[in-house]
Amino acid sequence: MDDYLNKLKSFPYPLIGVGITAFSRIGPGLVLPNYQLLCVKDTLDNQVIGKKIKVLSVEKDFLKKGEKVGKYNTLALLKNRQVQKYLASLRFPYLVLYHSTKKVERICDRLGLTIVANRAKVRDVYENKWHFKRMLQKIGLETIPNETFKIEELDKKRLEKYLKRWKKLVLILPELTKGGGNSLVFIKTLSDFKNFTKKAKKYKNTFDLKRVILYKFITGDSPSITGCITRHGVLTGIVQKQILDQPLVVNMNKGSGLYCGHDWSFKTYSSKIQAQAESLARSIGSYMGARGYRGIFGIDLIIDKETEKVYACECNPRYTGAFPVYSMLQKENKEPPFDVFHLLELLNINYQMNFDRVDRIYKNSKKGSHLILSNKVAKYRKTKGEIKAGVYQLGSQQLKFIREGFTTKSIKNPQKEFLLVDGVPRTGSTIRPLLRMGHLIFKKSILKKDGQRLKDEVKQSIRLIYKGIGF
């Protein structure tokens, strides 16, 4: 008999989601009573979330007079002396992280804090796209045709050779582990080479760039699939449509293939595609699991438009950008969210489950979509206005607030409402360059039929939100 949820609910120690914003870590709080949130930013949605889940922020609760946050990341949060005192006051706190780093691990180990995430020595290798490519080859999975060179070996003459062979290329800097498509450069002509050299120069020292991988460009869709490695097997979700390269919400100077959100309602992929994606995720997950990885991971895919052949092109060994919205949609489907098994594994709790049953219901379709908002310019900007976190009317000529809320369940009329959450700034807030500053969540598809462009009513709502905060 399945006892996994009761086992997790009876965990005796504090589970604390840690992140830049409270919303980004609320997934476990959707099902657990013994969960709280510790974030950096004091934003308008904190007070809404705080009515259901305890929320503490560095900006509001832990800064001394005249003190500044510093960097907006988990390491800076944990270095704050007042945060350390608070955590020391709790009985054996467990910190649920987006992902772990060596620096975060050092400070947590020194303070006696337990990390609920895969340690850096286990997960980092999968973030590197060169190592990921080699892993696919070891497993025996077919890869997109490619060649690897040292950065200094790639010149226009060599590039021209591969352009003649493959017509169009995708260049990847495998050591550039900054997510969201930042490591990609698309090459259609020799003149595009300057975009690659510019990016390589920008990140060479920060990420110790050594190699470049040339991939043949495959015409087709670029969805993803979520997996979760458990002692009972590798759970997999549905193939999910990714929203990429939307100039209304992301600075396109950052590159190509830039992640902006998901649209689960846009389409249900064919059983042929779903079966291939599941097989890839299980093979990759089994390999990772045998080497100590546990819990959630994501695989970015490419689907060849002509043959429906599915390729794995990137691994995200962590919570992915689909969360926590995906967890909300699972809960509305009466599915146990991926978070449950992620935590059970990382907390090393012994539990029973009917694996086949859970994996089967994970293939139920999901209805919803989301977009990530950001400060699109490469400079600091101060907000001049303020808009509430919660549910708004979709397609209106003016922003019309309807009710408070922070989950998909808050949306009562899917055709006419959307939700604004995740770091909604106060008046006078300074938003750092290119930093995320909000989430728009819908209970319907937001893409036009071409699967590339946003619907007009969605674009109108985005413009009204930026206008409302004075951008």
Domain ranges of the chain: 4-117, 145-216, 220-361, 369-468
pTM for this predicted structure: 0.93
Among the residue ranges 173-182, 288-297, 374-383, 414-423, the one predicted with the least confidence is: 173-182
Q: Give the percent of the chain with pLDDT over 70.
A: 99
Name the helix (H) or strand (E) containing 469. none
pLDDT digits (tens, 9 = 90+) for 78-105: 999 999 999 999 999 999 999 999 999 9
Please identify which residue in the block is written with the tokens 């510093």.
70
pLDDT digits (tens, 9 = 90+) for 159-209: 999 999 999 999 988 887 766 567 778 889 898 888 888 888 888 778 888
Q: State how far the Cα of 462 lies from the Cα of 442, in Å rounded to an integer.
A: 13
Q: What is residue 435's predicted lDDT score, i.e. its pLDDT? A: 83
- State the amino acid at position 322 in one-letter form: A
CA-CA distances (angstroms) from residue 159 to 167, 168, 210, 280? 11, 10, 17, 30
- State the amino acid at position 412 in one-letter form: K
Query: Can you name the CATH fold of 145-216?
Result: Dna Ligase; domain 1 (3.30.1490)
Is the Cα dihedral 264, 250, 46, 319 positive or negative?
A: positive
Report the CATH number of the 4-117 domain: 3.40.50
pLDDT digits (tens, 9 = 90+) for 348-367: 999 999 999 999 999 999 99
Q: Which tokens belong to 57?
A: 């922020």
Average pLDDT, the chain: 93
Please identify which residue in the block is written with the tokens 């955590």.
87
220-361 carries CATH number 3.30.470.20: yes
pLDDT score of 1 more than 60: no
Q: What is residue 259's predicted lDDT score, i.e. its pLDDT? A: 94
Is the Cα dihedral 308, 260, 248, 404 positive or negative?
A: positive
Q: Which tokens belong to 184?
A: 């990609």
pLDDT digits (tens, 9 = 90+) for 211-250: 899 999 999 999 999 999 999 999 999 999 999 999 999 9
pLDDT digits (tens, 9 = 90+) for 419-446: 999 999 999 888 888 888 999 999 999 9
Q: State how far the Cα of 105 lies from the Cα of 124, in Å rounded to an integer.
A: 13
Q: What is residue 123's predicted lDDT score, i.e. its pLDDT? A: 96
- Calculate helix-pair angle for 102-111, 120-127, nearest 10 degrees: 170
Q: What is residue 178's predicted lDDT score, i.e. its pLDDT? A: 67
Please state whether the peptide bond connecting residue 145 to the residue before it is cis, i.e. omega within 30 degrees of 0: no
Please count the other Cβ atoms lying within 10 Å of the Cβ belonging to residue 70: 13
Q: State how far the Cα of 301 lies from the Cα of 297, in Å rounded to an integer.
A: 13
Question: How do 224-230 and 233-236 pair as beta strands?
Answer: antiparallel
| Span 250-259, average pLDDT | 84
| Span 267-278, average pLDDT | 97
pLDDT score of 304 more than 60: yes
Please count the other Cβ atoms lying within 10 Å of the Cβ belonging to residue 295: 25
